[in-house]
Structure 1
Amino acid sequence: MELDDTDLEEFDVELPLEDGTKLEDLNDEIEAFSKLCKQMHSLDLIKRTNDALEEFLCDEIELRVQNTCKGTFDKPMLRHSTKWLYSTLYPWLQIIFSSNSQLSHESIENRLVAWSKRLNYHFCMIFCDSRISELFDVIVDFPDSKIAIDDLIVCMRRLDKDYRYRLVESLHAAFRKRLLIPGAGTMDIINTYISTIKCLRLLDSSGVLLEKITGPFRNYLRTREDAARCLVSSWMDEKNNNNELIEELGRTEEPIDNQQDVRFNDDNWLPDPMDAGPDYKSSIYRSADITNLLVSLFDTTDLIIKEIQNQMASYLLTKTDYDTEKELTKLELFKLRFGESKMSTTEVMIKDISDSKRIDSFILGNDNPLRRNMSGSSSEVMMLHGTVISRLFWPTLKGEDFDVPEQISNEMVKYDEGFQIFKPRRKLQWLKSLGKVQIELELQDRTLEFEVAPIYATIIHNFQQQDKWNLVDLAKKIKIDPIILKGKMNFWSDRGILKELPNDEWLLLETAEEVDPSKRAFASNEENCDNIIQSLAEQKAEEFKMYWAYIENMLKNLGGMTLEKIHNILCSVAEPTTSSSNSSFDNNLEDLKSFLNQMVVEDKLEFQGGLYKAKIN
C-alpha cells in the first residue's frame, strides 16, 4: 500500500463520533470551528500560524503512532493509521482551507495535497522509527510478525537510504545488548539469526542489509565452542523444531565448496548494489539458502564436517538393532551439501554398523563352527551382541577400563573367537565402557528393569554377592578409580537402589525407601547420554599434546619465539588433515595460543616480551 496512491476525493469529510458524542454536538463543533477559521482568514492569522499548526499535527501523528502501533506486530497498523489520517485528521485540515472564501476549489485541493504529502512523509518517518526500534522483537516473533515487516517495507520505500543505515545500527545495538551476550544460548542465537535472514530478505532482496548484519554474528559465534555442535544438532535431531533446515539440506545444485561467487554463464546476473560492503558476495547474500548462510559463519567447512562425524558416531553407537536407514538418508543430504569426498569417513562409519549386523549374525548363528559344537547345550546361549568399528575412521572415543563380570568376560572371549573365524588375522579390542546392558533387578518388594551402560551393570552385579560394599574395596575389585566409581554409584542411589552410609559404605536397598523427588527428577538416562565422543576442543588439546615434546625442544634449542613463528613451524611439520590438503594447524592459531598459555599457567613455559620461552629448571 503506497501512501501517495490514496485518492483524497474518496474520503468524505465526515468525522467519526467519539464515545458519548452526539451528532448534533459534533455538527455544532464543526460550525463553530469553521466560523473561527473564517474569522482567522479575515484577519490573515492562518498564514501566521501555519508553522504552529504543522507542528501540532506532527505531534498528534507521533502520539497516535506511539499509542496504537507500538508493540503490535500481528495487525496491519500502517493501514489502520493511514485510515485515521484521512478519515480524522485531514477532514479538519480541509475545513481550515475551505473556510477561505478567496480560494478556488482547485486551490484548496492543491493545498490539501501539499499538506498531506508533508504529513504523510512525517508519518512514515515516525512509523519507520518506531518499527526500527522494535525490529529485534519483530524478528524474534517472526513469522507471526510478518505483517509488521510488510508495513516497514512500504514505509522504507518512501524514505531515503539513510533509514537503511539506521536500521543496521539499531539492529547492531539490539543484538549486542540483548542477544550476543554470555547469558544467551547458542541455539537461541542461531535461531534468531535464521529469523533475521528471513526478515531482512523481505526488506532487502539484494542481501546488502543481511551482509552488514552477519558480521557481529560471525565474530561472536567464533567465541562459542558449541556453535558448530548446535548447528549440526539441528540437522541430526529430528525431534527439534528446525524441520525447515533439514529439508533445505538437499535443496542445492552443487556442494558448498564448488559454488562460485561469479557465475559467468548466469543469464540473470546483476551487478552488486551501490551500498554493498567489501565483504559482500552476491552468491551468498542474494541467492544462497539459509543453510549456506549458516555454514558461511565459519571460516571453513572442516569444523562442520568434524562435528557431523562426531554426532553421527554418537547416534550410531547407541543403536542396538543395527538399523541405519535414517543415518543413510542424512548422509545423502550431507553429500549433496558438502560433497561426497568430505562425507567418505562418515560413510565408512555407517557401513561399519551394517557390517556389524552381518558379523554378529555369523558369530551367534549356526554358520559359526564353534556355535554348532555348542548347539546341544541350552546353557551356552550367547547373550552378547557386538558392534565392530574401524578404528582409523571413527572419532576418538572416550573409554574407561574396568573388569566386567566373569560371565560377560567369557562371552567376550567366545565372541572374539568367532570373529577370528569370520575375519582371520584380525583381533577385537573391546571398549568395555561403551554399549548398553538390559538388566532386571529382583528385590524383595519390587522388580525393576533398566537399560544402562556397562559400568553401571557391573556395579550392581557385584551387589549380588553381598549387600554392602566399601567404596575402596569395590573399586579394587572392579579396578577403577574410587573417585570415578563414587560418581557412578550415585546413579543407583538416585534411583533408590543403593544407599550411601557413613565411612564410604554402600548398602543395597532390598526394601524401597523414599527418594528425594528432586533427585528422582534429575535422574534421567545419563548413563546413555555420557559423552562417549571426545569434543572438538578435547581433540585439539590431544593433538597439541602430541606436539608438546617437539615444541618444548624447539624452544630450548632455538630460544624464545613468537606465537606466529611457532604456528608457522608446526604448519610445515604437521600432517595434512584427511579432509583437505592443508595442515591440521592452518586454522588453529587461536587454539595454539590457548594451549601455550595453558602451558604457561602450568609453569612449563614462560611468556616475556611477546615471546614464548622454555622453562629453565
Structure 2
Amino acid sequence: MASAALRNQVATKWQDAFNRLNRGQPGISGLMGFSEAWSVASEFLYPKDLGDPPKDFNVQHVKAAFDVLIQCRTLPMLLENFVETMRQRQYLITRDVEAFMAEYENSNDPGIIAKLTLRLCEWYAAWAPLVELGQTISAAYVAHFQTHVFSVLPPTFAGGFKALISATLAAFTDPESVPDAALVQDPNLWQCFETLGLTERYEALISSVCYEHIENHVTGMCAGKWDEQMLSKLREWMADKVVPWMLLPYARGAKTAEEARAMLQGVGSRFDFHVCKTLCDLRTKELFDIIIDYPESAAALQDLKECLQRVDQRSQLVQSLRKANKRRLLHPGADTKDILTQYVSIIRCLRIVDPPGVLLYKVAEPIRRYLRERPDTIRCIVASLVGDGESGDSLVDDNEPIQPLQGPQVDDYMDPNWDPEPIDAGPDFRANKPSDVISTLVSIYDSKDLFVKELQVLLAQRLLAVADGNYDNERRNIEILKIRFGEGPLQVCEVMLKDMTDSRRIDQHVQQQNPSILHPTIISRHFWPSLQSSKLTMPGQFKKIQDIYAKEYTAFKPDKRLRWLPHLGTVQLKLELQDRTLNTWTLDELMSRVGLTERTASLKALFAWVDRGVLHEESSENFRLLEQAEASTVPRGAAHRPIIEDEPMASTVAQEQAAQMRVYWRFIEGMLTNLGQLPIERIQSMLKFAPGYDQTQEQLAAFLEAAQREGLVTFSQGCWKLHR
C-alpha cells in the first residue's frame, strides 16, 4: 500500500492540475470551458480532404480557444494530437503522389512534376494552421508536412524534378524548345518549391542543372569555332538569358534591383567561373588543332588566356597538350619537318596564352628531347635558316626581325619593371627562355657549333648545285647568317663562296689557253666539308680530257694540283645508235670497267638509262643496249625495283661525327683494357687529352650505346667495360 506521503503528493498534484484546468472558477465551469476550447481547436486543425467543404470558423473564437489551451499549458498535447491526426490522414497525399508519379514514369513529361508540385501546395494550404496561432504551431506543421512529403516521394522524383528545373531554365534561354512553356513558367511554381522545402533540399541539383546548361551551350556554340572570341558573347548570353532565371531560385525575396544584385553576387560569380572553366576545358581539348590552325585561331587563344586568368587549370593544359603531342606528333611516322613546324606554332601560340613562357617551357621539353634524338633535326633547322626550298617557309617568319642568337637571359633586379618568376615556374625556367623562334630552335642543342658545321655542309651542297653561276642568293644567306651566328663562325662559308667565283675565273683562263668541253668546279679542300669519295674512273676520251685540263691548271697554278671527284659531276650526252655491234653487259663487268665498287650507285646509274629507253634489263643485273626503242613504256621489273635514294654530295655532320668517333674507339678500347670498367665521366675526361677530341658527354654516351648494340662493350652498375 502507498504511504501517506505518496498519497499526499499525488493529491497535491491532482489538485494543481484541476485548478489549472478549471482556472480557479467554482465547480467545474472552468473544465467545461477548457473542454469546449479543446474541441474547437481540434476541429479547426483537423486535416480535411480537398473535396470537403471549406472550414467555416470565427477567427476570434478560434484564437480565444487557443488562448485557453495556452493558459492551461496543454498546447503541446494539442500539437501531438494534431500530428497524430495528420499521420492518419497522410494517405490522402500519398494517393495523389503515387498517381502523379505513375503518370510521369510513363511519359517522362516534366510538366507532370509541375502539376504534382502545385497539387502538394494545395494540400499544404488546406491543412496549414493560421499564422496568427503562433510560430510554434506553424513550425511544427511545416516540419511534419515536409517530412511526410519527402518520405513518400519515390526515387524517380529527383530525376523528374531535375527535368522540370531544366525546362524552367530552357523556357528563358530557348522557349521554342519547351513544349509546355506556360506551365513551367507558372509564377506560383517557384513559390511552391520554397513552401515545400524543395529549393533547399535540392539546392545542389538546381545548381547542377545550370552548370549542365552552361556546358551544353558553350560546347554547342564554341566547339570548332576559333576565328572569333567567344567569352564575351557567352557572358552576354548569361546576362540576357540565365540571370533572369537565376532571380527565381536565388533572389525571390529581393524588393529592389540593388538587393537582387547583392543576392546574386555569390552564385553569379560561381556560374561565371563555370563558363570560363567549361570554355577553358574545351579549348584545352582542342588546343593541338588550334595550334595547327594558327594564326587563324588567334582569337581562341585570347579566350584561353583570359579563361586561365580566371580558372587555375594551367597544369591540366600542360598535361593535355603533352599527351596530344605524344600521340599525334612525337612518333616515327611524323616527318621531322612537320614536328619542327608544329613546334614553332606551339611557341607562337603559347606565347599568346602565357607571355612569361612557363607553359611553353613545360610543354616543349618532351618535344625538344625527341628532336635531339632525331638525326636530321639539325639539318631541317639549318635548311630553314637558308630558305632551302619548302623547308624554310614554314619555320622562319618573314615579319620577324633578323637578330643575333640570344643566350640565357639573366634577371636584372635593378629594372623597375622586373617581375618575379610565376609561381609554377621550375628552377631552370630562365635558362631556357630565348625570345625569338630561331634562338629557341638552336637552343635545342647545347652548342651552336653543330649548326655552324651543318650550315657549311648545306651551303656546300647548294653552291655545288648552282649551274648558272649566280650566287647572289647564297651571298645573301651568308650575310643573314652572320647576323645570327656572328662573323667568326661564317668565315669558312665566305671562303667557300669565294672558291666558287674564283673557280669560274680559273676556268675562263684555262678555256682561253686550251678550249675544252670540261668545266670543273675547283674548291679548296681544307675549307670545305668532307665530300663523298668514289673510285669511279672516267672512261675513254673523258679521262684524256681530264688530264689535259689538269695540265693547263698546273701551268696556271704551279703550286696546286687537282684531285678529281667525277662522281659528283654532270654530263650532257647525245647518243647515236645503230652503228656498231653491241654486246650484253653484266653489272659486275660494268663496275669493273668504270672502277665502281658500290653496287647501289651502279644500279642507280643503270636504272636511269633503263628509264630513258637506252638500256634494257634482260635479267637480274644483266643489261642490253637498245638500238631501237621497245614498244613497252614501262621497263620490265620496274615495279619491283628497289628504291634508291639520292645521297648528299657532302657528308652530314652526323656522318662526320660517327666517323670521328670510330677513330677515338682505339683510345676507348685502350682505356677499358688497361684500367678495367670506367664510368662515362672518367672516359670523357681522359678523351679530352686525345688530339682533336671535341665531343660532348651526351655524344659519347650515344656512341657507347651504339657500341653496346654491336656487342663491343657492356654497361653495368654505372660503368662501361669491354665485352669479353
In which range does the TM-score fall when normalised by the shorter chain?
Answer: 0.7 to 0.9
Which among 470, 476, 485 is matched to residue 323 of structure 1? Answer: 470
Structure 1 317/241 Cα, relative in aligned 2: closer, same or farther at 3 Å? Answer: closer
Q: How does 1:105-504 map to 2 (within 5 A)?
A: 105-159=257-311, 162-240=312-390, 242-243=392-393, 245-246=395-396, 251-256=401-406, 261-262=410-411, 269-281=418-430, 285=433, 288-365=435-512, 368=513, 371=514, 381-442=515-576, 466=582, 468-481=584-597, 483-484=599-600, 485-502=602-619, 504=621
Q: Aligned partners of 1:301, 1:249: CA distance in 2, in Å?
A: 24
Pairwise CA distance, 1:591: 3.5
Pairwise CA distance, 1:167: 1.5
Which among 708, 716, 721 is matched to residue 597 of structure 1? Answer: 708
Pairwise CA distance, 1:428: 0.4
Structure 1 523/268 Cα, relative in aligned 2: closer, same or farther at 3 Å? Answer: farther
Q: Aligned partners of 1:339, 1:267: CA distance in 2, in Å?
A: 32
Q: Which has the larger radius of gyration?
A: 2
Q: Aligned partners of 1:238, 1:120: CA distance in 2, in Å?
A: 50
Q: Aligned partners of 2:393, 2:273: CA distance in 1, in Å?
A: 42
Structure 1 585/71 Cα, relative in aligned 2: closer, same or farther at 3 Å? Answer: closer
Q: For the Cα contact (< 8 Å) 1:471–1:482, is it kept in 2?
A: no
Structure 1 362/265 Cα, relative in aligned 2: closer, same or farther at 3 Å? Answer: farther
Pairwise CA distance, 1:341: 0.8
Which among 556, 560, 565 is matched to residue 682 of structure 2? Answer: 565
Structure 1 203/327 Cα, relative in aligned 2: closer, same or farther at 3 Å? Answer: same
Q: Which amino acid aligns with 2:473?
A: K
2:662 maps to 545
1:83 maps to 236
Farther-moved stretch of structure 1 (333-342 vs 554-563): 554-563
Query: TM-score if structure 1 supplies the norm length?
Result: 0.80
Per-residue displacement from partner, 1:264-300 (whole Å, max 9, x unpaired)?
A: 8967554433432111127x63x61111111111111
Structure 1 434/34 Cα, relative in aligned 2: closer, same or farther at 3 Å? Answer: same
Matched, 1:61 2:214: yes
Matched, 1:536 2:646: no
Which among 39, 44, 52 is matched to residue 205 of structure 2? Answer: 52
Q: 3-state SS of the aligned residue for 1:499?
A: strand
Q: 3-state SS of the aligned residue for 1:506?
A: strand
Q: Aligned partners of 1:77, 1:477: CA distance in 2, in Å?
A: 73
Q: For the Cα contact (< 8 Å) 1:496–1:513, is it kept in 2?
A: no
Q: Which amino acid aligns with 2:702?
A: D
Farther-moved stretch of structure 1 (66-75 vs 564-573): 66-75
Pairwise CA distance, 1:174: 2.0
Pairwise CA distance, 1:256: 3.9
Per-residue displacement from partner, 1:2-52 (whole Å, max 9, x unpaired)?
A: xxxxxxxxxxx9956655889xx85x457x422322344455644444332
1:579 maps to none
Q: Aligned partners of 1:441, 1:524: CA distance in 2, in Å?
A: 27
Pairwise CA distance, 1:557: 4.1
Per-residue displacement from partner, 1:320-347 (whole Å, max 9, x unpaired)?
A: 2332111111111111111111111122
Q: Aligned partners of 1:17, 1:313: CA distance in 2, in Å?
A: 68
Pairwise CA distance, 1:221: 1.3
Pairwise CA distance, 1:150: 1.3
Higher RCO (Cα < 8 Å, 6 or more apart): 1
Q: Aligned partners of 2:478, 2:399: CA distance in 1, in Å?
A: 10
Farther-moved stretch of structure 1 (495-504 vs 421-430): 495-504
Q: 3-state SS of the aligned residue for 1:439?
A: coil
Q: Aligned partners of 1:427, 1:594: CA distance in 2, in Å?
A: 42
Structure 1 87/476 Cα, relative in aligned 2: closer, same or farther at 3 Å? Answer: same
Q: 3-state SS of the aligned residue for 1:511?
A: coil
Per-residue displacement from partner, 1:553-607 (whole Å, max 9, x unpaired)?
A: 444444444443333222112326xxxxxx3456532233145325x53xx6676
Per-residue displacement from partner, 1:511-552 (whole Å, max 9, x unpaired)?
A: 14424499989999989x432222223212211232344444
Structure 1 231/392 Cα, relative in aligned 2: closer, same or farther at 3 Å? Answer: same
Q: Percent identity among equivalent residues?
A: 32
Q: Aligned partners of 1:109, 1:556: CA distance in 2, in Å?
A: 84
Q: For the Cα contact (< 8 Å) 2:386–2:392, is it kept in 1?
A: no
Structure 1 197/347 Cα, relative in aligned 2: closer, same or farther at 3 Å? Answer: same
Structure 1 56/607 Cα, relative in aligned 2: closer, same or farther at 3 Å? Answer: closer
Structure 1 615/291 Cα, relative in aligned 2: closer, same or farther at 3 Å? Answer: closer
Pairwise CA distance, 1:614: 5.6
Q: For the Cα contact (< 8 Å) 1:470–1:504, is it kept in 2?
A: yes
Q: For the Cα contact (< 8 Å) 1:499–1:508, is it kept in 2?
A: yes
Gaps in structure 2 of 5+ consecutive residues: 1-169
Structure 1 44/592 Cα, relative in aligned 2: closer, same or farther at 3 Å? Answer: closer
Per-residue displacement from partner, 1:402-431 (whole Å, max 9, x unpaired)?
A: 221322212211221221122112100001
Pairwise CA distance, 1:196: 0.9
Q: For the Cα contact (< 8 Å) 2:341–2:394, is it kept in 1?
A: no
Aligned length: 553
Pairwise CA distance, 1:504: 3.8
Q: Aligned partners of 1:305, 1:443: CA distance in 2, in Å?
A: 50
Pairwise CA distance, 1:385: 0.5
For the aligned residue pairs, the C-alpha RMSD in angstroms reads: 3.5
Pairwise CA distance, 1:302: 1.4
Pairwise CA distance, 1:248: 6.3
Pairwise CA distance, 1:105: 4.1
Q: Aligned partners of 2:258, 2:416: CA distance in 1, in Å?
A: 50
Q: 3-state SS of the aligned residue for 1:313?
A: helix
Matched, 1:72 2:222: no
Structure 1 33/418 Cα, relative in aligned 2: closer, same or farther at 3 Å? Answer: farther
Q: Aligned partners of 1:71, 1:415: CA distance in 2, in Å?
A: 67
Query: TM-score if structure 2 supplies the norm length?
Result: 0.69
Pairwise CA distance, 1:182: 2.2
Q: 3-state SS of the aligned residue for 2:186?
A: helix
Q: Which amino acid aligns with 2:657?
A: K
1:450 maps to none
1:588 maps to 699
Q: Which amino acid aligns with 1:146?
A: A
Q: Aligned partners of 1:357, 1:526: CA distance in 2, in Å?
A: 33
Q: 3-state SS of the aligned residue for 1:433?
A: helix
